[in-house]
Structure 1
Amino acid sequence: MTAEGHQGLRVVPGTDGDRDAGFTSYVAARRPALLRWARAVAGDPHTAEDLLQASLVRVLPHWEGLREQAAADAYVRRTITRQHVSWQRQPWRRDERPTEVLPEPVTHRDEPHAEDGLWGLVLGLPAQQRATVALRFYEGLSVAETAAVLGCSTGTVKSNTSRGLAALRRRATDVALAG
């Protein structure tokens, strides 16, 4: 039995084409949510695009073992987060130097402006706190679910959440006093 797959390719059930078709369908349906997560982790839309693509490349060989969408979402989010941490450890990242002249920021209609309200404050958090706060309050995950996605203990999630929220409170107060 065969079926038409992506771009007219023939898919034979039980083959890699079948797996690839399921993966393609998943990515098409969940890409906006996964990209939002990558943006929350990376802090900028361009890095988020690269991060999502690199993570999806890593997920594809393991796709057959993921049966439910909830498990797939958690696995992909964890992969995105771990890929970002891995990138931050790369020597070429440590050697980056700030420039005196910053390029003009690119704005996109489908994302909040970095300077706008709370989102700008969240983007200013360190990566681990930003990921924890985004998972807990943007994605609505529990402490245990967040720990599973980040691959850390629940105590680390609680600590990062507490520190992240404290930093957001301080920054929000500073903004309110300055304005």
Structure 2
Amino acid sequence: MTWNAEFTDHFDRCADSMRFTAFLLCGNWHEAEDVVQAAFLKLYLAGPKLARRDGLGAYLRQIVVRTFLAERRKVRWRREKLTDDLPEVPDGHAFSEERLVVWQALSGVPAKQRAVLVLRYWNDLSVEETAQALGCSTGNVKSQASRGLAALRRKLGPEFGELRMEV
């Protein structure tokens, strides 16, 4: 199979899940689309040079997260502004009000902590897989997850109820 055909097949299988992961990281669909587009471009350009292609999904997730974090570092002056409006939901997707409230609160968590929370609890990656995707130690993942959950709990407030996520 040629790289173009393999890339197209991989894109068809992974685009939606990568967009949603990027949405959870970015907090809005427009920025998520930009991150995913940049990630797929990086994957496409790197593809012919890859010795093994059996882990493209994990590699693409790593590119998405690192692209998101790089954008956050590059544009420090641009900070997210929290509003009372709930995040945009694409057509055809119905989500519970509780989930939307958590997503809104997640957008106020610092970028690295948010990346850890999304990878660990949304993408269900292990501590080791999360560390590999972020290029950091497992201890860093554990501390970022702990701090991120604490920040998320503060944003949600005591009236929201107890978050039941294990670090």
Secondary structure, aligned partner of 1:141:
coil
Out of 148, 151, 160, which is 1:164 matched to?
148
* Change beyond 3 A, Cα 1:167–1:38: same
Equivalent residue for 2:165? none
Where structure 2 has 5 or more consecutive residues not aligned to the other structure, the ranges are 162-167
Select 1:137's aligned residue among 111, 116, 121: 121
CA RMSD between the two structures = 2.9
Paired position in structure 1 for 2:15: 31
What number of residue pairs does the alignment pair up? 156
Q: Give the deviation of 1:172 after TM superposition.
A: 3.0
Per the alignment, residue 157 of structure 2 pairs with 173
TM-score (norm 1): 0.74
Separation in structure 1 between the aligned mates of residue 110 and residue 80 of structure 2, nearest angstrom? 17
Summarize the alignment of residues 9-88 of structure 1 with structure 2, pairs less than 5 Å apart.
18-64=2-48, 65=50, 66-68=52-54, 71-88=55-72
- For 1:108, give the aligned amino acid: P
Aligned residues of 2:127 and 2:138 also touching (Cα < 8 A): yes
Q: Deviations over 1:87-134 (max 9, x none)?
A: 2233xx3444889xxx99754233757982322222221111111011
Q: 1:39–1:142: structure 2 CA closer, same or farther, 3 Å change rule?
A: same
SS of structure 1 residue aligned to 2:157: helix
From the CA coordinates, give the structure whose radius of gyration is larger: 1
| Offset from partner CA, 1:3-36 (integer Å, 9 cap, x none) | xxxxxxxxxx5xxxx1011001110111111111
Does the CA contact (< 8 Å) of 2:26 and 2:32 recur in 1? yes
Task: Normalising by structure 2, report the TM-score.
Answer: 0.79
More deviation in 33-42 or 166-175? 166-175
Match of 2:109 in 1: 125
If asked which structure has higher relative contact order (CA below 8 Å, sep 6+), I would say: 2
In 2, distance between residues paired with 1:59 and 1:98? Answer: 28
Give me the identity figure in percent.
34
State whether residues 35 and 68 of structure 2, in contact with CA within 8 Å, keep that contact through their aligned partners in structure 1: yes
For 2:59 and 2:124, locate their aligned partners in 1 and report how far apart those are by CA, in whole Å.
16
Gap runs ≥5 in structure 1: 1-12
Structure 1 CA distance for aligned equivalents of residues 123 and 129 of structure 2: 10
